[in-house]
């Protein structure tokens, strides 16, 4: 049995190069919908669990091949449709939203940094001491995030902060081509000894997609997460 696996959507450009192979070394095919292009492959389904990690690498390789050249809307990892007709119906229904987001994000990329506690022994001498230590760490993280955001003020077009189990993850929309300037600005803010920080990117601006595009309605019969 086979399924149609969707990689990403992007705006047509005659100068863009396309990858030749994707997941399972399957040929990468293109669906044309006016200015919108979708990349997909027909793959054996279900995927072999032992090749899941390799499949993820192949999937991201296809997406980043396009992303290095222009803005993309990546599909969820290893999302599949029943067949090409189901994918075409989904694309037609969401075409306008995809094009609007691609136009809005055309010249931007997503950079990220994560702030979290440095390895340290928790004070469990009492419940009060533990809670005070935890509250102090939270204040330290929030303060550092604010300091970095201030340093990035001239570079950031939009910022989204998400609290994680162990810290804060910050997504920053910046102009494509200013990734190194972003790294230098972040590097210029010293990290308090009780904290750790990690920077990554550039990535497709997935965190800044409109809600309709970020969470498209793919019916269980048409796609799988």
Give the pLDDT of residue 78.
79
% of the chain with per-residue pLDDT over 90? 77
Is residue 125 very low, low, confident or very high in pLDDT (cuts 50, 70, 90)?
Answer: low
Task: Please give the radius of gyration of the chain, using alpha carbons only, rounded to the nearest integer.
Answer: 21
Over range 104-119, report the average pLDDT. 96
The better pLDDT of the pair 132, 137 is held by: 137
| Tokens 């189990």 found at | 165
pLDDT of 219 strictly over 50: no
Domain residue extents for the chain: 2-105+220-224, 108-207
CATH superfamily of 108-207: ACT domain (3.30.70.260)
The better pLDDT of the pair 141, 128 is held by: 141
Give the pLDDT of residue 146.
98
Q: pLDDT tens for residues 135-193?
A: 889 999 999 999 999 999 999 999 999 999 889 999 999 999 999 999 999 999 999 99
Strongest mean pLDDT among 66-70, 76-80, 91-95: 66-70
């Amino acid at each position: 049995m086979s399924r149609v696996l969707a990689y990403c959507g992007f705006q047509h450009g005659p100068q863009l190069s396309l990858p030749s192979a994707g997941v399972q070394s399957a040929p990468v095919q293109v669906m044309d919908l006016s200015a919108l292009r979708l990349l997909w492959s027909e793959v054996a389904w279900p995927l072999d669990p032992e090749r899941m990690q390799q499949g993820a690498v192949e999937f991201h390789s296809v997406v980043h091949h396009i992303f290095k050249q222009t803005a993309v809307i990546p599909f969820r990892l290893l999302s599949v449709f029943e067949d090409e007709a189901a994918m075409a119906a989904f694309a037609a229904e969401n075409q306008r939203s995809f094009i609007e987001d691609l136009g809005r994000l055309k010249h931007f990329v997503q950079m990220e940094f994560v702030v979290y506690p440095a390895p340290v022994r928790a004070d469990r001498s009492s419940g009060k001491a533990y809670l005070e230590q935890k509250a102090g760490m939270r204040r330290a993280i929030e303060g550092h995030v604010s300091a970095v955001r201030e340093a990035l003020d001239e570079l950031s077009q939009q910022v989204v902060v998400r609290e994680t189990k162990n810290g804060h993850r910050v997504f920053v929309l910046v102009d494509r081509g200013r990734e190194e300037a972003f790294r230098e600005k972040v590097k210029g803010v010293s990290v308090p000894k009780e904290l750790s920080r990690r920077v990554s990117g550039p990535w497709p601006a997935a965190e800044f997609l409109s809600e309709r595009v970020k969470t498209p309605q793919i019916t269980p019969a048409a796609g799988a997460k």
